[in-house]
Amino acid sequence: MRTGETLYLETHSWLGWPAREKVFGPKGAGPRVTAESALKKIGGALEMAFTNVKVDVGVLVSDSDSDSTEAPFAIICEFRAAADEQILDLSHRLAWNFCRTALLITIEPHRLIAWSCYQDPLTSIDERQICELPSPKHFKPTGSPQQRKVRDLLHWVNLVTQRAQRELPAQFRREGRADALLLKNLRHCRSKLLDMGLPMEFAHAVLARIIFTQFLFHRKDKDGNPFFTQRLLRRLYEEGTLTRVYPNLAAILGSKRDTYSLFSWMDEHFNGDLFPAKEADDAASREAAWKTEQTAVRKEHLTLLMEFVSGDMDTTDRQLNLWPVYSFDAIPLEFISSIYEEFLSEEKFKDKAYYTPAHLADYILDAVLP
């Protein structure tokens, strides 16, 4: 039996958690899909980032045999060996982006740590970590104050009743979730673009396109390669689409010529209505729509977007500089869709129509995933 499995058995006994197979291999359709997604998006990403890492990922849910989909009480990352600070930080960032739970619990051979997934990855370690405990081997309910605190927060009954969230409300503010903060970031950037004179339809268009493009930079195949690899970016340079080999999206946005050259290339390769006049039957109409947008979107608008994507936007609110810690491969597609739909349909804009897609995730699914 592996070290991690032994530790989970001790934890399961001490904290009243479900049996191991109900956490790491739930039978119900809903929990199984969530567990498999967490294993891929969190466990897979960790093992790709750190080749020496071996981690099992599971979910604590109220009924592991249910066919309904429900938010887990916690995501469990069980490491087979001690994990350093970088590994744990990435574990938290991925769980935060996963958007499906309030708690991440990391288990190592020598300790257990509970993390808030309502605290963004740039907050301090004290704000992100709820409690920490050495291995629970031989622990008793009447143990030390530290042991009792952890048991009070993480015992199965208290997970079900969300005791941690009630006792530590400052560490579980819903506005700290990844989806809530991404919506806040988009609103702020849109406001800045409008203040700079960019018409609403083009502000929405370029923001939707940036989300899609960033998704292509993040989404990895089974071998760990994103759509926009350095190899593809070099090919685009050699073919003349780009004027140099760029390292990331932010760098491309620094050049208006290359930004729109890349958008034009993407327009040729993907279906959907994310690009101007995609529904038009004739080339002249499509070209005219492109020219209209390119005239409206000035260099300073793209500079603002470059600062937004790089996290260098000049603002006193740290939460508006979070773009670099979003992982668009870990954020569930339905969350991206709901974020953008809410962004487009807010009260003051609900009576206006724009050509950007109402369901960005549907576009991603149709255009890329097949």
- Does residue 94 sit in the same domain as residue 187? no
User: Which residues of the chain fall short of a pLDDT of 50?
Assistant: 1, 351-355, 358, 370
The pLDDT assigned to 272 comes to 66
Same domain, 130 and 101: yes
CA angle in degrees (0–180, nearest 5) for 8-13-15: 90
Instruction: Give yes or no: residues 116 and 166 share one domain.
Output: yes
Prediction pTM value: 0.89
Pair (300, 185) in one structural domain: yes
Residues 163, 166, 169, 175, Cα dihedral to 10° = 90
The domain of 244 spans: 177-367
The answer to whether residues 167 and 88 belong to one domain is yes
Domain edge (last residue) among 153, 173, 193: 173
Residues 99 and 158 placed together within one structural domain of the fold: yes
pLDDT digits (tens, 9 = 90+) for 100-111: 899 999 999 889
Rounded Cα distance, 328 and 337, in Å: 12
Task: Please give the full DSSP string across 198-235, using - where no structure is assigned.
Answer: --HHHHHHHHHHHHHHHHHHH-B-TTS-BSS-HHHHHH
Same domain, 258 and 189: yes
Domain boundary among 147, 173, 199: 173
Which of 173, 203, 234 corresponds to the end of one domain? 173
Contact 315, 162 (CB under 8 A): no
Q: What's the pLDDT score for residue 235? A: 97
Helices (H), the chain: 3-15, 20-24, 29-38, 45-49, 85-98, 125-128, 145-154, 156-160, 163-167, 178-195, 200-218, 230-238, 249-253, 256-269, 283-296, 299-310, 333-344, 360-367
Beta carbons within 8 Å of 31's beta carbon, 6+ residues apart = 59, 61, 63, 64, 65, 66, 69, 70, 72
Q: How many domains is the chain partitioned into structurally?
A: 2
Residues 168, 181 within the same domain: no
pLDDT of 62-77, one tens digit each? 999 998 888 999 999 9
Predicted local confidence at residue 354, as pLDDT: 47
